[in-house]
Amino acid sequence: MKEISCKLLVIGAGPGGYVCAIRAGQLGVDTVIVEAGKPGGTCLNVGCIPSKALIHAAEEFEKVSHMEGGNSPLGISLTAPTLDLARTVAWKDGIVSRLNSGVAGLLKKAGVKTVHGWAMFRDGKTVAVETETGVQVIRAETVVIATGSAPVELPFLPFGGPVISSTDALALGAVPEKLAVVGGGYIGLELGMAFAKMGAKVTVVEALPRVLAQYDAELTRPVVKRLAALGVELMLGAKAKGLSSQGQAGKGDALLVETSDGKSAKVAAEKILVTVGRKPVTEGWGLEQIDLDRTGKFIRIDDQCRTSMRGIFAIGDVTGEPMLAHRAMTQGEMVAEIIAGHKRSWDKRSIPAVCFTDPELVTAGLSPDEAKALGGEIKIGMFPFAANGRAMTKLGEDGFVRVVARADNHLVLGIQAVGQGVSELAAAFGLALEMGARLEDIAGTIHAHPTQGEGFQEAALKALGHALHI
């Protein structure tokens, strides 16, 4: 095959990689992108997008299930609904396919050449790609590593058979009768709650004293309450130990667990979903051929996403936390502009994070504890959705918006919310922090009525000492 030369080579077409390539192409940079799978990476194919499709289907099914027999407070009555998970998965796959085509089209429109295959470094400027038609050698002036992350596999619970990853969970043909979830973080609870709504008996095994430990307890309390309402059993302070086969494969398997008091227990499960985190994909593409500094398992970068080797950048999950698609996208756009000669740096004052549990969680900026740790006094304003008209009309009164600000100048340091549909408030929260808003700015902004966004304004008013509706 004829050797390809380019100014920019992007390895990985996930959110970070494809955005980097598109922006570089828009700026006239001769760009090649290499991807072994489908464009869109984990997020589009087996992560963010398909999981939200499954979560939405579960929510809709649970809604109509509560309407059976005329029990809905809305006055709606219907006969027993059923769920065909295979059709749900097919619908989800259709969405993913359309978005795959969209990304491929955007790359082509930007003039980016796509090479399908697995890239292996030969040196810091050269990779060899195993394609269907042979080895393609690509030489580039600059390389961007955007190889992403993969689910962590437990040595005593390897993926296969009844033990599944989040990827496998999104492709099941039927709802398991009993599902054990190992790991009570956001991935485990998002999927665990979805399957509980679809009719599975779900048990969550979490080694820490509480679920969603990355969030403060006040914020997660409504989620824990909802887990109980869904019949999800929480085994906290418990450690998964392995698999015990008790008969017919799949139907009779049990998860061995060491409980918080040191005793042994067995959790019957048709499927065991392991969600104990994600690891950077740093193996299999010749990293040993180049010399890059690491921070633990991750590639170390500076505030411009430069690695320790000249001409090589790294973006997204492979560079560490927070492993969020929008972080990778922002980094990718910035790196493309730097390569094109623009002056850019990485400012992460606010990277909103959303947990799509029921209710949803949104955080942006600092939590109350993180703000207190900076020293100096802070003000906290909280407004409950129980006092919000729009939330009440959606049967979504459980939750709140919380604003954290400095006491001296009222500069907003962090914003959090828990409630039905609050993921859509993430943009407003991020914008307020990015623009350096003070409590008076938020309080003085006219918010449309009736919306849940009014809770944001009311939380700021509360911090100022004069909330209007509580």
Distance CA 381, CA 463 (A): 4
Q: Do 4-151+279-339 and 353-464 fold alike per CATH?
A: no
pLDDT for 320 equals 96
The closest alpha carbon to 215, from 194, 191, 184, 238, belongs to 184
- Name the H helices within 214-352: 217-229, 325-339
Catalytic residue among 56, 116, 449, 466: 449
CATH 3.10.129.10 given to domain 163-276: no
pLDDT for 248 equals 43
Distance CA 313, CA 102 (A): 26
Class of the CATH domain delimited by 353-464:
alpha beta
CA distance to 127, 135, 249, 300, 467, per residue, from 120 (Å): 5, 10, 39, 20, 59
Local confidence pLDDT in tens for the 470 residues of the chain: 789 999 999 999 999 999 999 999 999 999 999 999 999 999 999 999 999 999 999 999 999 998 887 778 899 998 889 999 999 999 999 999 999 999 999 999 999 999 999 999 999 999 999 999 999 999 999 999 999 999 999 999 999 999 999 999 999 999 999 999 999 999 999 999 999 999 999 999 999 999 999 999 999 999 999 999 999 999 999 999 999 865 444 455 799 999 999 999 999 999 999 999 999 999 999 988 998 999 999 999 999 999 999 999 999 999 999 999 999 999 999 999 999 999 998 777 799 999 999 999 999 999 999 999 999 999 999 999 999 999 999 999 999 999 999 999 999 999 999 999 999 999 999 999 999 999 999 999 999 999 999 999 999 999 999 999 99
The per-residue b/e assignment along 357-386, b for 16 or more CB within 10 angstroms, e otherwise, is bbbbbbbbbbbbeebeeeeeebbbbbbbbe
- HEC per residue, 187-240: HHHHHHHHHHHCCCEEEEEECCCCCCCCCCHHHHHHHHHHHHHCCCEEEECCEE
**Which residues 6+ apart lie within 8 Å of 88 measured at CB?**
53, 54, 57
The closest alpha carbon to 208, from 178, 243, 237, belongs to 237
Which structure tokens are listed for 91? 């619908």
Fold of the CATH domain 4-151+279-339: FAD/NAD(P)-binding domain (3.50.50)
The closest alpha carbon to 170, from 61, 282, 88, belongs to 88
- Counting beta carbons within 10 angstroms of the beta carbon of residue 425, is it exposed (0 to 12), middle (13 to 18) or buried (19 or more)? buried
Q: Where are the domains of the chain?
A: 4-151+279-339, 163-276, 353-464
Which amino acid appears at position 460 of this protein? A
* 449 belongs to the catalytic site: yes
